[in-house]
A and B are shown apart, each in its own frame.
Chain A
Amino acid sequence: MKRKHLEERFFLFLMIVSMVVVVGSLLLILGTVLARGLPALDWAMLTQTPQGGYYLGKEGGILNAITGSLALAGGATALSFAMGLAVALHLQNLSSRWAHLVRLSLDVLWGVPSIVYGAFGFTLMLLLGLRSSLLGGIMALALLELPVMVRAMDEVLLMVPFELKEASYAVGATRFETAVKVLVRQAMPGLLTAVLLGLGRGIGDAASVLFTAGYTDRLPTSLLRPVASLPLAVFFQLGTPVPEVRERAYAAALVLTAIVLAISLLARLLSRRLERHVIR
């Protein structure tokens, strides 16, 4: 065989090995979480808050963390969506130089580590005189989700055909009416996907809520009180020396992974389903 064909075979082999490594590590992670989490998961884990002696292995569950995470990520996603949609719509009307600058800035924000958002949220809270609370967590997470959402919404808004906007302007609609009634409706599947992307990023993030949301054994009741969250439930429970509590960390990780995967599957399904209503 010629040398070039040998080389071809050799690199093809390496590529297939790499594919196996990458896909295999994904399966390994999911498999580990499932295998360790499932035996530790029971109904009480999902429906109870920590009772007395919970952190020594007595009864209770992680309902505080589940509801806390939903409240944090839900609030942050709502706030971030409201701000993000305005920014994404405004981007469509900016001159290309400014739009370019804003997009670059959002791309950079996307890369900012979440611990930095946590630290920034913390300085904001010092400024406002807030202590660690649901509100503080929501602010930090909303900022963390903002670049993901705006860039995703921006991408779909860019795909709306220019003729649709022209037609809308031609019948006398203002820019605002066109944005809300034509652009948003046309881009709806993409916007929903953007929201779910943001939600997925927000619910899994630990480093930013560490500073800002605190942790508690109670259910979230007030914006000004600390809340628990699933990622921190995993982290704190894994750090204890009691084996039963560590088991619960595995269960919490399984719940968190299941929620994140469900969100990402839902995003895929929804965008496919809703795409049928889009005018092309």
Chain B
Amino acid sequence: MGALTALAAALVPLIALALLMRARPLLQLAPLGELLTSTSWRPLRGEFGFWPFIVGTVWVTVLAMLLAVPPCLLCAIYLAEYAPRPLREAVKPLVDLLAGIPSVVYGLWGTLTVVPLVRDVLAPWAGTNLEFIPLLRADNPTGYSVLAGGVVLAVMVFPVIISTAEEVIRAVPDGLREATLALGATRWQMVKGVVLRRAMPGVIAAVVLGFSRAFGETMAVMMVVGNVAQIPRSIFDAAYPLSALIANNYGEMMSIPLYDAALLAAALILLLVVLVFTLLARVALLRAVRRAA
């Protein structure tokens, strides 16, 4: 039992170490800084530049967070502060259900619903009305784009952010609420001025947890984002996130020299980024709950 517990505790460093060992031949080829910032990805010539993939991941994830955070927080506030009990009891299982849907199903939904929506409605509309904003230039006719990836990811992180945020908001002591309302504040004033301020570290942690979930998500994103190794210039461009890079190329990775090292290095980058963000969020969350209680 002790050995198993130690294994569970040491699994994260163990995974990092195993990936590092396999990725080392690549690090001997070129310095880490150069690998991360080079834009040339030509495995056959031995050039492995991760920059387009890193940028792709960041674009999709940031867009997903921009889309997901406002409705999630409003939803969490509504559930914690406004919703009558029966409604809350009815909605929370639904949110949990959303969390349990497999990622390929999200991906399938994305290709059937979101991609056509982007291709037939949003991109043409932006093309005629918002042409002057470079971020919204629509010259990719396929619909498989950063935007489609962002929408699908946003829906995927809904349950993560909502359930965590709702929990920390509810952990704020009732005495504070009563005191604020007794001064004649409206409910929203109470939420804005007192409850949210008190729950802020926890709410930030909820957002960061959502971010790290989105950052490493693979299948759903890869099915809708287009997978073109370029640096996207507009949200209607295709991108190629790190996770999709790994999943798309596992087949040929043993046949090209150093390819396996490169893909496992990509996995290591994902792991380390997610690790930093989750650790920060978890520590903040523990603090927040302890402080609120």
Chain B residues with CB under 8 Å of A130's CB are: none
Note all chain B residues with C-beta closer than 8 A to A114. 216, 218
* Docked CA distance A90–B212 (Å): 29
> Which of B45-53, B171-179, B272-280 lines the interface with chain A?
B272-280
Q: A29 near B155 (CB under 8 angstroms)?
A: yes
Chain B: residues with Cβ within 8 Å of the partner, total of 77
Contact A235 B8 (CB under 8 A): no
Contact, CB under 8 Å: A101 / B9: yes
B218 adjacent to A113 (CB under 8 Å): yes
Q: How many A-B residue pairs have CB under 8 A?
A: 234
- Give bound CA distance, A150 to B101, whole Å: 21
Closest B-chain residue to A207, C-beta based? B218
B148: min CB distance to chain A, Å: 14
Least CB distance from B136 to A in Å reads 21
Asked, given contacts A22-B158, A102-B9, A111-B209, whether A253 binds B82 with beta carbons under 8 Å apart, the answer is no
Set of chain B residues within 8 Å of A78, measured between Cβ atoms: none
Could you say which of B30-38, B69-77, B120-128, B231-239 contacts chain A? B69-77
Q: Are B275 and A108 touching (Cβ within 8 A)?
A: yes
Pick the contact of A23: B9, B94, B111, B274 (CB < 8 A).
B94
A116 at the interface (CB under 8 A from B): yes
B223 within 8 A of A: yes
Cα(A146)–Cα(B218), bound, Å: 20
CB within 8 A of B91: which of A23, A29, A102, A264?
A: A23
Q: Say yes or no for A173: interface residue by CB 8 A criterion.
A: no
Which B residues are CB-close (under 8 A) to A211?
A: 250
Contact of B187 (CB < 8 Å), options: A8, A116, A147, A203: A8
How far does the Cβ of B174 sit from chain A's closest Cβ, in whole Å? Answer: 20
Q: Contacts A90-B1, A119-B264: A235 and B209 contacting too (C-beta < 8 A)?
A: no
**Residues on B with beta carbons closer than 8 Å to the beta carbon of A120:** 15, 18-19, 267
Q: Are B250 and A8 in contact (CB under 8 A)?
A: no
Whether the pair B8, A105 counts as a contact (CB closer than 8 A) is yes
Contact of B278 among A111, A115, A260 (CB under 8 A): A111
Nearest-Cβ distance from residue A270 to partner chain B, whole angstroms = 15
Mark out the residues of chain B between 64 and 86 whose CB falls within 8 Å of any chain A CB in the assembled complex: 70-72, 74-75, 77-79, 82
- A240 interface contact, C-beta 8 A: no
Tell me if B133 is interfacial: C-beta within 8 Å of chain A.
Answer: no
In the complex, the answer to whether B105 meets A33 with C-beta atoms within 8 Å is yes
Cross-chain contact of A32 among B112, B186, B267 (Cβ < 8 A): B112
Instruction: Confirm or deny: A256 has a beta carbon within 8 angstroms of a beta carbon on chain B.
Output: yes
How far apart sit A210 and B247, CA to CA, in the bound complex (Å)? Answer: 7
Contact B243 A115 (CB under 8 A): yes
Q: Which of A5, A26, A94, A235 contacts B107 (CB 8 A)?
A: A235
Among the listed B4, B96, B282, which residue makes an inter-chain contact with A107, where contact means beta carbons less than 8 Å apart?
Answer: B282
Contact of A7 with B186 at beta-carbon distance under 8 Å, contacts A28-B109, A87-B4, A107-B278 already known: yes
Nearest A residue to B8, CB-CB: A87
Whether the pair B8, A234 counts as a contact (CB closer than 8 A) is no
Nearest B residue to A201 via CB reads B100
Q: Which of B77, B155, B247, B274 has the most CB of A within 10 A?
A: B247
CB of A112 closer than 8 Å to a CB of B? yes
A206 at the interface (CB under 8 A from B): yes
Per the bound structure, the CA–CA distance linking A264 and B93 in Å amounts to: 10
**Which residues in A have their C-beta under 8 angstroms from that of B101?**
29, 204, 257, 260
Within 8 A of A (CB), among B8-65: 8-12, 15, 18-19, 21-22
The answer to whether A109 and B247 touch across the interface, beta carbons within 8 angstroms, is no
Interface-centre pick from A104, A106, A108, A124 (highest chain B CB count, 10 A): A108
Chain A residues with Cβ below 8 Å from B93 are 268
Report whether B78 and A19 are in contact in the complex, using a CB–CB cutoff of 8 Å.
yes
B1, B105, B185: the one contacting A253 at CB < 8 Å is B105
Query: Do B219 and A119 touch (CB < 8 A)?
Result: no
Taking CB atoms, residues of chain A closer than 8 Å to B109 are 28-29, 32-33
Chain A residues, CB < 8 A from B141? none
Asked if B200 is at the interface of the complex by the 8 Å CB criterion, the answer is no
Q: Which 6 A-B pairs have the closest CB atoms?
A: A113-B216, A204-B102, A119-B267, A18-B71, A15-B78, A111-B278
A-B contact pairs, 17 of them (CB 8 A): A7-B188, A22-B75, A104-B279, A108-B279, A111-B216, A111-B274, A113-B243, A115-B247, A120-B19, A126-B22, A201-B100, A204-B100, A204-B102, A206-B103, A207-B219, A210-B250, A264-B97
Q: A115-B270, A260-B101 are in contact. List 6 more A-B contacts (CB 8 A).
A: A22-B98, A90-B4, A105-B9, A109-B12, A123-B21, A260-B100
